[in-house]
Amino acid sequence: MAIRDIIILPDTQLRLVSKPVEKITSEIRALADDMFETMYDAPGIGLAAIQVAQPLRLITMDLSKKEGEKNPRAFINPEIVSASEELSVYEEGCLSIPEYYEEVERPAKVRVRFMDLDGKIHEEDADGLYATCIQHEIDHLNGVLFVDYLSKLKRDRVMKKFTKAARLAAK
């Protein structure tokens, strides 16, 4: 296992649409292991493969609340099959947009279909933090960032801030 570099806004790779995982191989399992290690180190609760420069439809997530307790979950080729009309607002952040948080409105409940690392297909209902996180991470797989849900003014402001920081870091 290895901690991988997380790509940061304004990196254009974040706008790529990820490709489906065709087959669960030892490379896919190793990528998931690296993603868990990277996510825990960051620290974060969710990570999409594209955030470590791998344009594959793979997400890692751990929503366990207690210190020292872990509940790592991998989602391969996840998709939202239905969403509630009821909306909820959560303050979101993103490992690819460090130290920036903003309230985002999304469906309060979703039904998600995905494959696990053993190749089993699951369908689950998600609400609360789980619903928010799975939608946020699936958005990454489609080249969408949580800042895309903000007003144009806020989005432009954050893009300008991270573009400037990237320019300064490159010098």
Please say if 22 is a catalytic residue. no
Pairing between β-strand 58-61 and β-strand 87-94 as defined by DSSP bridges: unpaired
Is the sign of the CA dihedral 107, 108, 109, 115 positive or negative? Answer: positive
The span from the CA of 93 to the CA of 103, in Å, is 9
Instruction: Strands of the chain (E only): list them.
Output: 46-48, 58-61, 73-83, 87-94, 97-107, 109-115, 121-127
CA 60 to mean position of chain CA atoms: 8
- Determine which helix (DSSP H) or strand (DSSP E) holds 132, and give its type and residue range: helix 128-141
Determine which one of 22, 69, 79, 137 is catalytic: 137
The span from the CA of 52 to the CA of 17, in Å, is 14
The span from the CA of 41 to the CA of 47, in Å, is 11
Q: Which residues are catalytic?
A: 137
